[in-house]
Amino acid sequence: MSPMSEQRKGEGFIFLNSILWAFFPVITVLTYNFIGSVVSLLWTDILATVLFAALMLYRQKWGELRSALLWKYGLLAALFIGVFYYTLVFIALEFTSPGNVAIIALLEVFTTFLVFNVYEKESFSAEHMLGSVLMVAGACIVLVRDFSGLNIGDLLVLAAVWFSPWGNVFQQRARKLFSSESIMFVRSLLSIPALAVLAYVFGQQASFDDLRASLPFLLINGILLLGLSKLFWIEAIHRISVTKGVALSSVTPFLTLMIAWVVLGLTPNLWQLISLVPLTIGVLLLTGHLKRIGPESV
């Protein structure tokens, strides 16, 4: 298959991931009607682990678990993403809105650019740079219009976006050697003990009735969002750069705003809708459908 075809396939996986992930903040908030944030993350991770185990069994990938390198990369991804990133984001959703979390998470474009260009020496064209800037500008339109000071939830998301790029470094390396389902199985499995300890430290418990009441939302989060969408993500960054993948995913906040409007009744304002303009142009630049006039820099 040609490199261009692989790139298009990677962009397609990002598109699918973005649609699914747009539901993540809203579905997560709905679980908080019954259980605490860390308990919600713990059970979401457990359900995702079951999905990855089933996929490994179906595709006969259990032999990959014999590799120490898989466990090394999986442990590092679990630490940076499965524990640090998701714990901060889940707790943040107790204090701030799903839309705010999705928008502030756009700063992952900048943190990923820094990690993959400084640490991984990954090339980044002028079109990609401009596209990333425009996407973050779209987020700034929303934040500046409604800015009323940072609360603890906003600060937790700001902290979270510094962890995910490092996890993606190790996930991308692992995907060159192992299947997506094996990587995600190890990452999720190794995250469970740490999340259980955190739930205990925070004093969060859930009764059987609470878990049963939140089960529909936990299943959506675990199977579709922390499960299937993350498989799409790893397949995407196996074919395109992580920097480009994160930037393309920046359309997710707008989708989240629309979903929060329908599900939670949080009506987006005019400025949030205007932000779609730079976001759309950014996507076109990053996918090569719109070219900047002038020489390309690296």
Q: What is the pLDDT of residues 60-93, one digit of tens each?
A: 999 999 999 999 999 999 999 999 999 999 999 9
pLDDT digits (tens, 9 = 90+) for 234-273: 998 888 888 778 777 877 888 888 898 888 887 877 776 7
In a domain, 294, yes or no: no
**Does residue 146 contact residue 271 with C-beta atoms inside 8 Å?**
yes
What's the rounded mean pLDDT across residues 119-133?
A: 69
pLDDT value at residue 54: 94
pLDDT of 123 reads 61
Q: What is the mean pLDDT of residues 194-200?
A: 95
Which of residues 280 and 213 earns the better pLDDT score? 213
Tokens describing residue 142: 């929303």
pLDDT of res. 298: 33
Residue with tokens 């995907």: 175
Mean pLDDT of 214-224: 94
- Would 293 be classed as within a structural domain? no
pLDDT greater than 50 at residue 202: yes
pLDDT, mean over the chain: 85
Q: Could you tell me the residue range of the domain that residue 238 belongs to?
A: 3-286
Contact yes or no for 114/65 (Cβ under 8 A):
no
Is residue 298 in a domain? no
Structure confidence at residue 294 (pLDDT): 45
Mean pLDDT, range 103-128, rounded to an integer: 72
Mean pLDDT calculated for residue range 171-186: 94
Average pLDDT, integer, range 165-169: 92
Assess if residue 246 is contained within a domain.
yes
Residue 91 lies in a domain: yes
- Give the separation between CA 145 and CA 156, rounded to whole angstroms: 21
In this predicted structure, what is the pLDDT of residue 275? 75
Average pLDDT of span 123-127: 68
Q: Binning pLDDT at 50, 70 and 90, where does residue 119 land?
A: low
**113 belongs to a structural domain:** yes
pLDDT reported for residue 68: 96
Q: Does any domain span residue 291?
A: no
Q: How many domains does the chain have?
A: 1
Give this prediction's pTM: 0.84
Contacts by residues 292-297 (CB-CB < 8 Å, ≥ 24 positions apart): 292/126, 292/127, 292/130, 294/126, 295/126, 296/125, 296/126, 296/127, 297/125, 297/126, 297/129
Question: Does the pLDDT at position 52 exceed 90?
Answer: yes
The sign one gets for the Cα dihedral 4, 64, 196, 31 is positive
Q: Percentage of residues in the chain with pLDDT exceeding 90?
A: 49
In a domain, 297, yes or no: no
